[in-house]
Structure 1
C-alpha cells in the first residue's frame, strides 16, 4: 500500500522507495487531496488552488485530466492496482482514501498530541522521545517541491507553526531532563532561523545559565533585547526579563513555564 510524504518533497512511498509525480500541477493536486484525506475536496477549491483568480474556461476538464493522470501514475508504478479506488470521484469533487499510517502528516500530528499529553503529565522522557520522532519526520519545508497556490499556502503556514511548537515542547522536555548542554547547538540554530521567537531565545538563555555560562547567557539576552528594540520597537516579554533578573542575581534560571 502506498504512503504519502508531505513534510518535505511531495512523494509516494512504496516498500521504502519514494516516487514523485513529474508534473508540478499533479503534485499540487495530490497535495490538496492528501492534506484533506478522507474528505471530499471541492472542485471549485481545487480550481482556485491551481489557477487562483484566473482559471481557464475549461478548468474542470483540465482538473479531471490531472486527477486521471494521478490515478494512472499510481497504477503504472504499481503503487495502487486500482487508482480510482484510492482517489474517488464524488459529485462535488474528489476524495483520497488514506489510513492513519498512510500519511506522514497524520503520524506527525499523532506524535505531537502524544508528546503534549506526556509533557502535561510530567513524563518528560516520553515527551522528548515522541516529539523528537515527530521532528525527525521532516526532510525540508512542507511541500518543498510544490509552488503553492492560495489554499496550500495556508496549509504550509499551519504545518510550519506545528513544527515550531513541537520544537519548543521538545526542548522544554530536554531541559527538564537536564540535557541543556546537548541542546545548545540546536538552540543556536533555532534563534538564527527564528530570530523573533522569544521562546527559543529564552530557552537558549536558560540552557546557557544551567551550563554555568552566565556571561554568554547575558549576551544572548542583550542580543534579543537589542534585536526587538531596533526591529520592532518592543521590549522582551516579562518571562524573558525575569530570566535576566535571575542571571544578574547569579541564580539558576528557572523554566519559562514555571
Structure 2
C-alpha cells in the first residue's frame, strides 16, 4: 500500500489506486492516511465531515464510507474472499474507530519526517553536506500543498497547518546548511522568490541578506532589510527583531570582521525561526 498526502491525496495498493473521487469519502481516507497505524475515532471523523452539525445518521454514513473504501482496496487484489479479508486487515475496525495499516516506508509524510530528522541530526554535529542532502530529500516528497484536493474540516486544517510549518522549517534549515557550505550564488534566485512570498519572514530575509552580501551586493542586502522593515511596520506595526537589526548594522559597517557578520546572521536566523509573521498567516515553531 502506498499513501501520499504531501500534495494531492493519492492511495494505491498493488499498483492500483483506491482513492475515491467523491468529496466526503476522500476526507475520510485523508484522516485515516494522516494517522496511519493509529485509531481515528468515529467522533473525529464525524466532526471532520460535518463541522457545523452532524446528521442523525452520521455514524451509519461513516460506516458506509469505510465499507466503500474496503471494497475499493479489495478490488486491488485478485483473490475474492481472501481479498475482502485482507482489506479488513488493512482498514481495521477497532474499539472506538478505524485504523489504516500501511507500511511506514510507503507513506510520504512518514518518510518526510525521517529525512527531516536525519537532516537535523547531521546539522547538530556540523555535517552540513549530509544535512543539506537529507533536507533536500525531504522536500522532494512534496508535490504541492498538503491534501490540496481534499475538503478539510477542523482536524485536517490543524494537520495541514502543522505539515506546512514543518515544510517551511525544513526549507529554512536546508538553506541554512547550503549557506554554510558557501552556496550563496546558487541560492539567490530561490531566496528572492521566497522572500517575495513570505514578505515578513525574518529568517528567510536574513538568509537573503547574507547571500547578497557574500555575492558582493551589499547595497541589495541592505535594501532587502529595508523592504522587510517597511512591511513589518506598515502591515503589523512591528520592528525587526534585535538580531536582524544587528545583522543590518554589521553590513552597514564596512570592514567589519566576517566573524561578526556570521555571528549576527546566526542570531538573526535563530530568532527568525521563533518569530515568523507573514501577511497570510502567523507561525510559531
Q: Normalization by structure 1: what TM-score?
A: 0.94
The 5 A counterparts of 1:132-171 are 132-171=136-175
> Could you tell me how far 1:38 is from its partner in structure 2?
1.2
Once the two structures are overlaid, the 10-residue window that deviates more, 11-20 or 195-204, is 11-20
Instruction: Indicate which of 252, 256, 262 corresponds to 1:254.
Output: 262
Once the two structures are overlaid, the 10-residue window that deviates more, 232-241 or 165-174, is 232-241
| 2:60 is the alignment partner of 1:51 | no
The equivalent residue for 1:106 is: 110
Q: 1:254 aligns to what SS in structure 2?
A: helix
The 5 A counterparts of 1:188-207 are 188-207=192-211
Which whole-Å CA distance do the structure 2 matches of 1:196 and 1:67 have between them? 43
Which whole-Å CA distance do the structure 1 matches of 2:98 and 2:15 have between them? 27
Once the two structures are overlaid, the 10-residue window that deviates more, 162-171 or 11-20, is 11-20
Q: What RMSD in Å do the two structures reach over aligned CA positions?
A: 1.8
Q: 1:257 aligns to what SS in structure 2?
A: helix
Q: Normalization by structure 2: what TM-score?
A: 0.86
> Could you tell me how far 1:124 is from its partner in structure 2?
0.1
Which whole-Å CA distance do the structure 2 matches of 1:141 and 1:218 have between them? 32
Gaps of 5+ in 1: none
The equivalent residue for 2:216 is: 212
The 5 A counterparts of 1:1-258 are 2-13=1-12, 20-78=19-77, 81=83, 82-250=86-254, 251=256, 252=258, 253-254=261-262, 256-257=265-266
Q: Cα distance 1:107–1:246, how it changes in 2: closer, same or farther (>3 A)?
A: same
> Could you tell me how far 1:77 is from its partner in structure 2?
3.4
Which whole-Å CA distance do the structure 2 matches of 1:32 and 1:16 have between them? 21
Count of matched residue pairs: 257
Once the two structures are overlaid, the 10-residue window that deviates more, 87-96 or 190-199, is 190-199
Which whole-Å CA distance do the structure 1 matches of 2:221 and 2:89 have between them? 57
